[in-house]
Structure 1
Amino acid sequence: MSLREIILTEPLLRTQCSLGEGPLYDPNTSTLHFLDIEQSKVFHYNVVSKELVCEVFEDAVTCLAVRRNNKGLACATSQGFAIIEKNSTLRYLSRPLPEAYRGRTRFNDGACDRKGRFVAGTLFSAKHDVPGQLWRYDPELDKCERLDPGPFTDSNGLGWTEDGRTMLFTDSFRNKIFAFDYPEYGLPTRKADFVSDAISQGLPAGTFPDGLCIDNEGGVWSARWGGSRIIRYTKDGCMDLQVVIPSALNITACAFGGPRNDQLYVTTAHCGACGGDGSRQPSFPDSGDLFVVDFAGEFTSGEWRFPFAG
């Protein structure tokens, strides 16, 4: 595999998260928000003042969305969809998981579509025969519906291509990124694989796609759990660039931000996260830290996720 390669050697922030995830940049406040899911933490980093604030919640927050009209943040949590209120509290909008699934799965990654509806997926449990599934909360209707019953493995990075009519969705342990037809109303339907089998394309076995973001050229940046890297795919699904972080094993997610929207922020997880082998941490000591790539205008963020309408 011969790709253009960028190597990162120093973290931007030494946060040592257990399960760092979910970077989200808000240009209205110059703030990068990101998570430590296993520690139920939400971080807020002002990229201008360099101030870092951390909140701790009773439930794990698993992904974030900026609300319209500068109202703050919405989120998915382990249980469902919520608004983040003052004093690190959650105001739940929906807890849609069936009784038989509660405590056996949780929500994971997600984002909002052009209508401001929050789409998020859940994790599978082979032990309890619980599939990963896709859900959507519509704040206008105050309604939560199951978009796709799966079965998926771990539901991860999702977002929309530039016209909003195609949704990309990552099924981590199948090493696939699906493309869905995404009608303005109604349920999405799987139409093709954007990435059908990343291992067969030359990526290391035992590594998996995690979070993603989409740039101004339609390129898809897919974080690689266990792979110490991010892969950029062209809009046709061909690999053309990789960002390698030798000192961090589990790369979890990425997002563009900064004053010119050309800084790629990257979250990572400890080697022992999600039942992993914590004894590997000395070999990858920056696993859990936050990194950044300065693309100096070469790449900027595309419109691939949108504010929450609630």
Structure 2
Amino acid sequence: MSENIEVVVRNCDFGEGPHWDDTTQCLYYVDVFANDVHKYNAVTGEDAQLNLGGGSMATVIIPRQKGGFVVSQKTDLAIVDSWDSGKVTSIAKVEADANTLNDGKVDASGRLWIGSCPNENNPDLLQLPKYQASLSSLDADGSVRKHISNISLSNGMDWTDDNSVMYYIDSIPRQVWAFDFDITAGTISNKRTVADFSSTEIPDMGFPDGMAVDTEGKLWVACFDAGKIVRIDPETGKVIRTVKFPCEKTTSCCFGGEDFTDLYVTSAAPAQLEKTSLGGSLFKVTGLGVRGRKANMFAG
């Protein structure tokens, strides 16, 4: 089956963290180092942006069940009470100052999971300090729990339909892991490797970054520095499909559209824009022949 790739927005330096809101048919995402959050209306084609202020970094924007959004602010998580007001209120400090929060996602119980990475903007990921980051969660009552330490660059995550398995990426060792997941207790255990990008038989994989799971239980992983999204069978660890993009730094992906058959892909601009003028674009992929799932809202 042949897919079609379309550029829908071209105004980010470092696009990340896409989240599809099916109630409004809008895609929320961030421009990390600009500290901007974006709202792309798929019906009108309008892309609105909101700066969170404070000279911080935004990596997450996810709608709340109570209205407004939960967002990241460097080491803190905060609430934006509404898009129109843009008022930001910090609710929890999650990380040490040596780190910054990175990719996050909400599980089916409304709990936010978010990881971190070293607080350095170095385009060479292998030069970043290793093993100082972590994976934490934020419950609806505001309590924060740290689940894993010694992470190098925390990135994509998602769950199986039955909530028995959580998939999770640490980009520097180029690993996609699976954990047994207890949604009631909010705990993970029994780590094992699902895919190892450093040993894959598919060349030029880059670094695994953001991730989404389709209704068939397959993983769609953004390959940073390789300009592609790959579909992985978690049972075998094999790449079963590759979608190549006209840019180098694909960062994350999520399913959206009225029937969740569109794949939205964020990207970052490279240091030398002459290499690829489409770096930093938001892409929409249609015609994949697969379907995603409704994203969860934060319960707090």
Indicate whether the TM-score tops 0.5: yes
Determine the structure 2 residue equivalent to 1:74.
Answer: 70
Kept in 2: contact 1:76–1:120 (CA 8 A):
no
Kept in 1: contact 2:76–2:101 (CA 8 A):
yes
Determine the structure 1 residue equivalent to 2:117.
Answer: 123
Q: Name the CA shift for 1:127/1:267 in 2 (closer, same or farther; >3 Å).
A: closer
CA distance in 2, matches of 1:129, 1:284: 29
Q: Give the aligned residue type for 2:89.
A: R
Describe the SS at the equivalent of 1:88: coil
Determine the structure 2 residue equivalent to 1:109.
Answer: 103
Q: Name the CA shift for 1:105/1:7 in 2 (closer, same or farther; >3 Å).
A: same
Deviation of 1:128 after TM superposition, in Å, equals 6.5
Deviation of 1:114 after TM superposition, in Å, equals 1.9
- Deviation readout 1:182-211 (Å, 9 max, x if unpaired): 11215312431111x213213445710000
Determine the structure 1 residue equivalent to 2:145.
Answer: 145
Kept in 2: contact 1:227–1:250 (CA 8 A):
yes
Q: Name the CA shift for 1:57/1:294 in 2 (closer, same or farther; >3 Å).
A: same
The RMSD of aligned alpha carbons is 2.1
Determine the structure 1 residue equivalent to 2:206.
Answer: 207
1:90 aligns with 2:82: no
1:228 aligns with 2:241: no
CA distance in 2, matches of 1:46, 1:186: 33
Describe the SS at the equivalent of 1:61: coil
Q: Name the CA shift for 1:257/1:205 in 2 (closer, same or farther; >3 Å).
A: closer
Deviation of 1:129 after TM superposition, in Å, equals 6.6
Determine the structure 2 residue equivalent to 1:274.
Answer: none
Q: Give the aligned residue type for 1:301.
A: G
Describe the SS at the equivalent of 1:282: helix
- Deviation readout 1:26-80 (Å, 9 max, x if unpaired): 11111111110011011111111112111111232211222225x1321233122
Deviation of 1:238 after TM superposition, in Å, equals 2.1
Q: Name the CA shift for 1:259/1:127 in 2 (closer, same or farther; >3 Å).
A: closer
Kept in 1: contact 2:4–2:285 (CA 8 A):
no
TM-score, L = length of structure 2:
0.89
1:301 aligns with 2:292: yes
Kept in 1: contact 2:78–2:91 (CA 8 A):
yes
Q: Among 42, 59, 63, which residue is 1:62 paired with?
A: 59
CA distance in 1, matches of 2:128, 2:30: 27
Determine the structure 2 residue equivalent to 1:26.
Answer: 21
CA distance in 2, matches of 1:25, 1:128: 32
Describe the SS at the equivalent of 2:291: coil
CA distance in 2, matches of 1:66, 1:248: 29
Q: Give the aligned residue type for 1:154.
A: L
TM-score, L = length of structure 1:
0.86
Determine the structure 1 residue equivalent to 2:181.
Answer: 182
CA distance in 2, matches of 1:122, 1:210: 13
Describe the SS at the equivalent of 1:38: helix
More strand by share: 2
Kept in 2: contact 1:171–1:177 (CA 8 A):
yes
Kept in 1: contact 2:212–2:221 (CA 8 A):
yes
Percent sequence identity is 27
CA distance in 2, matches of 1:6, 1:200: 27
Kept in 2: contact 1:79–1:107 (CA 8 A):
yes
Kept in 2: contact 1:5–1:243 (CA 8 A):
no
More helix by share: 1
Determine the structure 1 residue equivalent to 2:7.
Answer: 11
Deviation of 1:90 after TM superposition, in Å, equals 1.6
Describe the SS at the equivalent of 2:136: strand
Describe the SS at the equivalent of 2:199: helix
